[in-house]
Amino acid sequence: MKKRTLWIAIVAFLTAVAAVSAQQAQPPAQPLASPQAPQEANPQAAIVRSVNLVEVLFSVVNKRQKLVTDLNREDFKVFDDGVEQEISAFSQPTDLPLRIGMVLDTSNSIRERLKFEQDAAIEFLFNALRRGKDQAFLMTFDDGPQIIRDFTGDTGDLRDTILKQRAGGGTSLYDAVYAAGDHLLNKSPLPPGLNPDVRRVLVVISDGDDNSSNRSRGESIEMAQRAGVIVYAISTSTDWISAEDEKNPSKRINRKYEKGEGDRVLDQLAGETGGRAFFPYKVDDLGQSFLDIGDELRHQYALSYSPAGRTADGKYHTIRIRTDRKDVILRARKGYYSVPAAAPAKSATP
């Protein structure tokens, strides 16, 4: 009787093991989703909202072009299309890492000034780039733009790459400014640490001519403005007038009395983005200017505002910043394109 009971127990155990194994061999049943069932709230989910926020970087200098860095929020007023706006955020000058796009015209039109371009680019990078903090990339353009050295902080490598360039081909200045602005916006390496902010700068060395771009001048300016890029332009134009030094009649002075069409193009590219254009006769004329630019970029004010009563409409709007200080000059971009927010994705219909 005991043997019979033991045998029954063994059979029952083996049957149970076989049943469990069969259940594990089958995929687990998936619960049917009910379209009426409410979804559980996720306390970590981000709240996304469309904010039409305009951010502006600007510099303040006195009449001797020396930086003024002690002004406060109350010292400024900002106007959007002529209408005063409430400043929602303001910061005094902060020394942020620089991300520089160096754009060299290597078209046939500047063949005789290529050496000047190379010297000017190298001079700027050695004056502005701080090892371990700032980075730059190199772009050349002739029939089209091309990045010849991506972001690096190695000034020696940048110098060697610049010296290898040769001139020839057409001139696609606007395409280059557009492509460089896009690269600065989307590919700039962020610094380590909790603050990801950088200053994006575009240095264009060219005669201002363009004969082969697909983009227009307006499109290139628009890209720079959307990317928050400040453009500094250095003219390679050789349209100079010689004059006598009044104190020394035997000495000739090379000076630009009237800007050509290319110079005016460079002026506009710089002015619309809050930068400056330079018209040097020789590279030695640029030394102090480059030092001033580097200092200026590290001591800019920043403010932001949301235009009252207007949504992002895709149109161009003017910006004007004003201060009651009578002895200073403000440099800021002149406007922006208010880009409409992307429409939210529609849910699929069951």
Q: What is the pLDDT along the chain (350 residues), one digit of tens a residue?
A: 444 444 444 445 445 444 444 444 444 433 333 333 333 333 333 333 345 789 898 999 998 888 899 999 999 999 999 999 999 999 987 788 999 999 999 999 889 889 989 999 999 999 889 889 999 999 999 999 999 999 999 999 999 999 999 999 999 999 999 999 999 999 999 988 777 888 999 999 999 999 999 999 999 999 998 888 999 999 988 776 555 555 665 555 566 667 889 999 999 999 999 999 988 877 777 777 777 787 888 888 999 999 988 877 888 899 999 999 988 999 999 988 887 654 444 433 33
Whole-angstrom Cα distance, residue 294 to residue 292? 6
Beta bridge partners, 277, equal: 233
Beta bridge partners, 59, equal: 331
DSSP assignment, residue 314? S
Whole-angstrom Cα distance, residue 162 to residue 165? 6
Domains of the chain: 54-92+312-337 (no CATH), 98-298 (3.40.50.410)
Helices (H) and strands (E) in the chain, counts: 7, 16
Residue identified by tokens 């922006």 is 336
Give phi and psi for 196, each to the nearest 5. -90, 5
Whole-angstrom Cα distance, residue 96 to residue 188? 13
72-91 burial, b for 16+ CB within 10 Å, e for fewer?
eeebbebebeeeebebeebe
SS3 170: coil
Which class for 316: exposed (0-12), middle (13-18), buried (19 or more C-beta within 10 A)? middle
pTM of the model: 0.75
Whole-angstrom Cα distance, residue 128 to residue 294? 5
Instruction: Kindly state the tokens that stand for 104.
Output: 């060299």
